[in-house]
A and B are shown apart, each in its own frame.
Chain A
Amino acid sequence: MSEVKQEKEPLFSAKNRKLLTNPLNLNNPITVQVLGICSALAVTAKMKPAFVMALSVIVVTAAANLIVSLLRNGIPPRIRIIVQLVVVATLVILVDQVLKAFVYDVSKQLSVFVGLIITNCIIMGRLEAFAMSNKPWPSVLDGIGNGLGYGIILMAVAFMRELFGSGTIWGLHVIPKSFYEMGYQNNGFMILPPMALILVGIIIWIQRSRNPQLVEE
């Protein structure tokens, strides 16, 4: 166990920084671990809900990782999955309630998906794989890192889908009227979930061609 060593490390040692940056690229939860695909398809038709979803997942993974990591020595192994689920479910309900109270429009759009955060494999995966056996601070970083990695892909996909599907970015029209007058049309296929899958596939392709170590033999 390297825990004793970590105690003397500064807050942002090279190792801890890696926890934050690794999930952004080489260990991305969506494109490399292939977790959380379902919600990535669902909320990426527009950038705004995608952003809120990403933010919610960052908050929930970080907070769940922190709580489970703090509790890790007291959690009876036989009911650890139940404890993890309760922690995640509680946090998700809290996020849902806060969204309903402060950003009602967004919560209306996300209504179904916020509940889906619970089933987002990224969160349970990180709890089981990292928080159960690591100290609180690295766990928080790991949670934020994985949340960010998820969020980056979400935003990239949402950007493409919103731009070509609705001709807007963040709800603002960017494709000039003259284009439409010349016969340009929004691509309705971009709005549909399968296109998100194809875009994620393209991102994975680009990522692997640039990082050969990710390619399996």
Chain B
Amino acid sequence: MYSNGYIFRYAGIMVVLVAAVLSAAAMFLKPMQERNDAVDKMQSILSAAGFEGVDAKNAIELFNKNVTNMIVIDPDGNVVNDFTGDSKENSKAFKLNLKEQLYNKSMSRPFELSIYVVNKNGESVYIIPLRGVGLWGPIWGNIALKSDYRTVVGVTFGHKSETPGLGAEIETPIFEEQFPGKTIFDENGNFVSIGVIKGGVANQPETQQSHVVDAISGGTITSNGVSAMLKNVLESYEPFFKKQG
């Protein structure tokens, strides 16, 4: 009763109509979504620095008040771009796409990285944005270092689609609270990053204990992803830390 021609016409028109509706919706809603992403980024940076009670409403205000500098560096540790007075949201450091930069790094092409300097109770805290891969999709976060560029003040993690209850636990306080006080360099000044390990931190050699945290049971691949992300991103900052320190 329906000819093949009708079926093809029907499917064709349907597909074009649906595409038009979806593109229109995406275009119309994009500014609001980008705004939300930016606010979320600010919240994450501020929480890593140890600010409490940051929500979507006060994030912008707190960010503008407490972020004192936003630096872009090259892999040799040279400062390429300092924050210069204009809107913090539009600064080069805030707009830098870490995913692209890390891709450039993996392809051995030149790349740039950003650092946020946040004033927390009169002390400068350095926030480094992180990005890596988990089990199902990207994971990301921020790690805050003291002005010695060694000691961790705090971290926040996020993920796109890790398994709820297992890998997704990386964004819970229980996991994140393990990081403050850990160090990313050993006593001799060698870069060691922070490892997410099985078997319990207490069972590690004493010299190792300040460079490891407990992994999540059942979330092995996500945990390994966090380890790899920390190492991959932080090692690119080593020249910068050495130059500053």
A residues at B contact (CB < 8 Å): 42, 74-79, 82-83, 86, 90, 93-94, 97-98, 100-102, 104-105, 108, 111-112, 191-193
Contacts and interface: CB of A to CB of B under 8 A. Distances in A.
A111 B11 CA distance: 29
B107 interface: no
A82 to B, nearest CB: 7
Interface string B42-57: 0000000000000010
Interface string B135-175: 00000000000000000000000001100110000000000
Interface residues of B, number: 23
Interface of B: 2, 6-7, 10-11, 14-15, 18, 21-22, 25-26, 29, 32-33, 36, 39-40, 56, 160-161, 164-165
Interface centre among B11, B21, B39, B164 (most CB of A within 10 A): B164
* B contact face: mostly helix, strand, loop, or mixed: helix
B58 to A, nearest CB: 14
B165 A79 contact: no
Contact of B10 (A79, A108, A111, A193): A79
Contacts, number: 57
B36 A111 contact: no
17 contacts: A42-B164, A77-B2, A78-B2, A83-B10, A83-B11, A86-B18, A93-B25, A94-B21, A94-B25, A97-B25, A97-B29, A97-B33, A98-B25, A100-B36, A104-B39, A105-B56, A111-B160
A69 B2 CA distance: 18
A98 B29 contact: yes
A74 B11 CA distance: 11
Nearest to B26: A97
A78 B1 CA distance: 11
B164 A79 contact: no
B32 A102 contact: yes
Residue among A98, A108, A111, A112 with most chain B CB within 10 A: A112
Contacts of B29: 97-98, 100-101
A76 B2 contact: yes
